[in-house]
């Protein structure tokens, strides 16, 4: 339950508990906390059993830990009924990006500066060129302000 608490943090919590509750009340507080945790666990287990009974025999292997997305994905990756490993191994993003980059660079080197006007007439627009400057500030609209 407390796997991520280190020894220094545990000592800090104990010292704070002694300072806040005092050495006289600390045993009673610890008993109350453990009793509360025990009741919460019992309530949780009874709720799980009730849910399993309501779901029926089809879900007898149902585990509530599977509702955690990390656990679900880990289980599915181990099971691999869907062939996810083949899909993951067959998808090489670096290779596909290199192919796209080569295709883009090959098209840029094929076009020459004199043929840019003919490519613009063919319906293609050269996105590498900067738009022409109209030569002045934009028109001022007094009604818009």
Q: Is the pLDDT of residue 43 over 90?
A: yes
DSSP collapsed to 3 states, 52-115: HHHHCHHHCCCCHHHHCHHHHHHHHHHHCCCCHHHHHHHCCHHHHHHHHHHHHHHHHHHCCHHH
Domain ranges of the chain: 7-62, 65-110
Q: Is the pLDDT of residue 47 over 70?
A: yes
User: What pLDDT digit, counting tens, does each position of 50-108 carry?
Assistant: 888 888 888 777 777 777 888 877 777 776 666 666 776 777 778 888 888 888 887 66
pLDDT at 113: 52
Q: Is the pLDDT of residue 128 over 50?
A: yes
Q: Is the pLDDT of residue 13 over 70?
A: yes
């Amino acid at each position: 339950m407390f796997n991520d608490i280190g020894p220094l943090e545990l000592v800090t919590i104990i010292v704070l508990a002694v300072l806040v509750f005092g050495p006289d009340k600390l045993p009673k507080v610890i008993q109350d906390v453990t009793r509360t945790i025990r009741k919460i666990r019992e309530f949780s287990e009874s709720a799980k059993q009730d849910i399993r009974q309501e779901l029926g025999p089809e879900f007898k292997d149902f585990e509530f830990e599977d509702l955690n997305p990390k656990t679900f994905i880990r289980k599915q990756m181990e099971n691999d009924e869907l062939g996810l490993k083949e899909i993951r191994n067959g998808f090489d993003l670096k290779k596909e990006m290199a192919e796209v980059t080569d295709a883009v660079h090959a098209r840029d080197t094929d076009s020459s500066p004199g043929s840019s006007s003919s490519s613009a007439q063919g319906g293609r627009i050269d996105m590498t060129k900067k738009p022409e400057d109209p030569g002045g500030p934009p028109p001022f609209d007094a009604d818009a302000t």
